[in-house]
Each structure stands twice: as C-alpha cells, then as structure tokens.
C-alpha cells in the first residue's frame, strides 16, 4: 500500500504534534510547513487550529497564507480544517467582535448558546465526548470522509463557538449538546471541516483520518 502524503499547515496556531502523530498512526507521510509551494503542491492539506478566530486569521495573514489556502479548492486539493481550523473556513466569526474568515464555506461562527434548550445554564466551553448524528439534510455519509462510519459514535470536542453554514446540505454531521444542535463535520466540494479533534477521538477519529488520506472525490 502506497504511503499517503499530507501537508499540515504551520501558522503558529495549532496542536501540530498531536495532529501529526494521529496522521502518522494512519500511515501518512506528514510534512509540517508554511512554505507556499509545498502547500500548493500537496496532494492533501490539513489546517489545524486552537485559540481565537481573529488571532488565527492574523497569523495566516502575516505569513501570506490566505491566498494560498483560497487557491487550494481551485486546484482540486482536498483540505481538512480541524477545530478552529474548521471555523476559519467560513466567512466570518462573532468571536471578540466580527472577524473575516477564509470564505471557503459560506456561513458564520457564533457563540454556543449559554443555556440548554429548556433555558437552564450549562457549561461553556463544550468539552468532552459527544455522539455524532446525520446533518439535517444528510441521509448517509457515502463518498465522504465519514464513509463506512456509523452515527452514534462519540468524538472529543473542546470549543465555545459553533459554525453555522448557510447551506444546510453542507452539514454532514452534527451533535446535540443539551438540546443545542452543533455542526460537527461540514463540507463544500473538497473542503472539509471537523469541529472535534480526530486525533483525540479514538478509533472513530483515526478512521476519519484514514478516509481523508485515501479519499478520491
């Protein structure tokens, strides 16, 4: 079996070591870089991220990476954003005031509601294991990075803000946090976003990585 090559973007915001280890456990040859040509030449790209939306965009901007990332869909390069890396794929975020994102998937990032569906306060950030369900307009995961995986499996979340794509068909998978629906996996063409951390989500998360590494859209 041929080793899958993947570039993980290093822009000073992200848990690079754990992402690398997770991908390598799935047989990937991982390059961590901010080099423009290496990113554009990559067969697939991962955009990790932790922290604040505006800070992440500022780091990308300081490295002149925004136009590079925007070019990937036109090249047909599969791109996977993880956690904050998923959120910055969208148009904008309300975190600490309005900030512009990459605009690769139409939508906005907003705070998770601070109450349950019945109006009771609950913990923010949303931290811990939560089971996935199909998105509202999704009937199956065939042909996606979730193919051959099963709803109900639990994955690990750490976040205070949630992505809201404009097109509901973009939402491949959601989870329910005390009655509140949260986007867990989103997709537009070959651009994917994953709100949870696959490398911290046991066998399900590693299976998602394997699908991404072998995925041929």
CB neighbourhood size of 150 (10 A): 10
- Running DSSP on this structure, what letter comes out for residue 33? E
Q: In whole angstroms, what is the distance from residue 215 CA to residue 77 CA?
A: 11
Token pair 């990113």 is found at 39
Q: In whole angstroms, what is the distance from residue 134 CA to residue 174 CA?
A: 6
Give, in order, the Cα–Cα distances in Å from 145 to each of 12, 119, 121, 186: 26, 35, 34, 10
71 is catalytic: no
Map residue 14 onto helix, strand or coil: coil
59 is catalytic: no
Q: Which of 26, 83, 175, 194 is catalytic?
A: 83
Q: Which of 126, 159, 164, 197 is catalytic?
A: 197
199 is catalytic: yes
- Would you name the residues annotated as active-site residues? 83, 197, 199
């Amino acid at each position: 079996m041929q080793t899958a090559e993947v570039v993980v973007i290093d822009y000073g915001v992200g848990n690079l070591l754990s992402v690398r280890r997770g991908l390598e456990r799935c047989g990937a040859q991982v390059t961590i870089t901010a080099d423009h040509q290496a990113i554009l030449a990559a067969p697939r790209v991962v955009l990790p991220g932790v922290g604040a939306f505006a800070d992440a965009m500022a780091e990308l901007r300081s490295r002149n990476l925004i136009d590079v990332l925007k070019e990937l869909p036109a090249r047909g390069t599969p791109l996977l954003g993880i956690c904050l890396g998923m959120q910055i794929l969208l148009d904008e975020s309300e975190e600490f005031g309005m900030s512009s994102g990459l605009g690769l998937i139409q939508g906005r990032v907003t705070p998770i509601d601070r109450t349950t569906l019945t109006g009771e306060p609950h913990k923010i950030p949303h931290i811990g294991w939560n089971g996935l369900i199909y998105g509202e307009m999704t009937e199956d995961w065939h042909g996606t990075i979730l193919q051959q995986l099963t709803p109900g499996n639990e994955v690990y979340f750490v976040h205070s803000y949630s992505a809201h794509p404009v097109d509901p068909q973009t939402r491949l998978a959601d989870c329910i946090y005390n009655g509140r629906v949260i986007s867990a996996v989103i997709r537009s063409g070959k651009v994917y976003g994953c709100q949870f951390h696959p490398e911290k989500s046991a066998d399900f998360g590693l299976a998602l990585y394997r699908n991404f590494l072998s995925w041929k859209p």
